Structure 1
Amino acid sequence: MHVDLHNHTSLCNHATGTMEEYIIKAIEKGIDVFGFSCHNPMAFDSKYRMRFEELPLYLDSLKTLREKYVGQIEILSALEIDFLPQFMEDSLFKIPLDYRIGAVHFLGDWGFDNLEFIREYAKRDINDCWVEYFKAIEMLANSGKFDIVAHIDLLKIFKYFPTKDLRREIETTLKAIKRANMSVEINAAGFRKEVGEQYPSREILEMCYGFEIPITFGSDAHAINQINFKRKEIEALAKDVGYTKCAVYRQREQELVEF
């Protein structure tokens, strides 16, 4: 079974193509389970996300496509929600979604994965950034609000790697993810970025396997031609590490399926 649970829509203001075009492409590429997980509305960083008043359109479009393409592909509903406790509306967690992806894109108010703000790296200690980042992922897991951790080592996007051993911090974070019964996605978007590899690194993926943390897969597509991006490579990596199954979610219930 081919699974792709992390994909966006034009409602986020930095993706192109219609939702139906994504589904048509996913069917063409042989994807069995496809999830839309567009960026959540939030009273912060509004330039890069849908508005609250657009949520009904998003959910209605999902329902319409699910009904139209039944028997051809399974379409799941989700949001990629930024873990910013001061901005996360309680109403987001009352929406009946199939799953919730939790993501960290900000350290404080610094959008570290946005090229517009790359100069901020020169002002900071990179090791402190990584420690703060993994602590945020740990807090995300401990919140109990999410099902999947998005791009767990996203901070490497511009090739700013830690210069000290952070294995202890990573293990602490992974233990929190395990306790929360969450999965970690293998996200192909890193191949389209300066870092030139998937999230997470093979080292972190092997640690996930050691902790028996489930995985799932995501193109993190923001354009039609990114659907199914590097699927063979990330599935092969997962199998080489030892995984034979990945997680899918329906009404927030996790099921492991062979891929």
Structure 2
Amino acid sequence: MNIDLHNHTKRCNHAIGESYEYIESAINCNTDIFGFACHAPMKFDEKYRMQFCEIDDYIKEVKDLREQYRDKIDIKVGFEVDYINKKEYLIEKKVLDSSVDYLIGSVHFLNNWGFDNEEFIGIYKSININDAWIEYLESISNMAQSGLFDIVGHFDLFKIFNNPPSKNLKNNIIKTLESIKDNNMVLEINSAGFRKNIGEMYPSKEILELVFTLDIPITFSSDAHNPNQVGFKRDECKAIAKDIGFKKVASFKDRKIEFYDF
């Protein structure tokens, strides 16, 4: 079973291609379940996400495509929602109550710093990386404890510009994963890291081994912002997960989890 739940549309203003082109790419690489999870609107960093007035059109477009391609592939619709620590009020009820299959909770910001944006890469030179990792992991933990989301997006994204967590943060990572486990969330294996400076998936194999030990469910994502990124490094990610011992992969329908054999 090939599942790919985290992909974008041009509505986020930093992805290209038509939605149907992503689906055609998914079909061509033998994807069984393909999900759009475009950046949800928020009154923050608005140029990199859809507008509130687009929510209904986005959901309708994906559901229309689901019907159009129903004999070839199962299409899901969701949102990737930014979680900014201590600013939960930014997450609008209209997003949380939308008629989607799942919500991905992701941390892209430490306060107002978009740490995965090359535009602000210079900030890394002025901070303590270890302290920033602790703040990032705390944000992920609080996001999980909020109970608002179904999937954790790119768990160790803060390593994106080749700043992986130091070994002394292992206990912090375990505590964060325990928060994910305690709140019944799924953790995605996201291949986008292979396209970035860090050159590996999110999360790393070492962290994924901890995920397995804690019996946290997984799913897979290309995090495609271009149709030609759909399915990127999927086989490699699946092979790593299988080698660790995972046998099931999660998907969602109407915010309810479903499990499939690899």
TM over 0.5: yes
1:130 maps onto 2:142 in alignment: no
Q: How do 1:109-124 and structure 2 match up within 5 A? A: 109-124=112-127
8 Å CA contact retained: 1:126, 1:161: no
1:17 maps onto 2:20 in alignment: no
Q: Which amino acid aligns with 2:25?
A: K
Corresponding residue for 1:51?
A: 51
Corresponding residue for 2:73?
A: 73
**Per-residue deviation at 1:124?**
0.7
Instruction: Report the aligned-residue RMSD.
Output: 0.8
Q: Deviations over 1:65-114 (max 9, x none)?
A: 01111121000110000003131112211112101100000000000000
**Per-residue deviation at 1:162?**
3.5
Q: Which amino acid aligns with 2:151?
A: I
Q: Deviations over 1:196-218 (max 9, x none)?
A: 00000011100000000011000
2:230 to 227, 232, 245: 227
Q: Structure 2: which 5+ residue stretches go unaligned?
A: none
**Per-residue deviation at 1:164?**
5.0
1:192 maps onto 2:195 in alignment: yes
1:153 maps onto 2:156 in alignment: yes
Corresponding residue for 1:37?
A: 37
1:210 maps onto 2:218 in alignment: no
**Per-residue deviation at 1:170?**
0.8
8 Å CA contact retained: 1:127, 1:164: no
8 Å CA contact retained: 2:5, 2:219: yes
Q: Which moved more, 1:35-44 or 1:155-164?
A: 155-164
Q: Distance in 2 between matches of 1:167 and 1:146?
A: 24
1:103 maps onto 2:95 in alignment: no
8 Å CA contact retained: 1:183, 1:247: yes
Q: Distance in 2 between matches of 1:87 and 1:186?
A: 26
Cα 1:163–1:178, aligned 2, differ >3 Å: closer, same or farther?
A: closer
Q: Which amino acid aligns with 1:166?
A: L
Q: Distance in 2 between matches of 1:162 and 1:4?
A: 26
How many aligned positions are there?
259
Corresponding residue for 1:244?
A: 247
8 Å CA contact retained: 1:183, 1:214: yes
Q: Distance in 2 between matches of 1:88 and 1:160?
A: 28
Q: Distance in 1 between matches of 2:105 and 2:221?
A: 13
Corresponding residue for 1:162?
A: 165
Q: Distance in 1 between matches of 2:89 and 2:168?
A: 31
8 Å CA contact retained: 1:9, 1:19: yes
Q: Deviations over 1:24-68 (max 9, x none)?
A: 111111100000000010111111100111111101101110111
SS at match of 1:213: coil
**Per-residue deviation at 1:255?**
1.4
Q: Which moved more, 1:157-166 or 1:106-115?
A: 157-166
TM-score by length of 1: 0.98
TM-score by length of 2: 0.97
Q: Which amino acid aligns with 2:156?
A: D
8 Å CA contact retained: 1:249, 1:255: yes
Q: Structure 1: which 5+ residue stretches go unaligned?
A: none
Q: Which amino acid aligns with 1:4?
A: D
Q: Distance in 2 between matches of 1:149 and 1:49?
A: 19
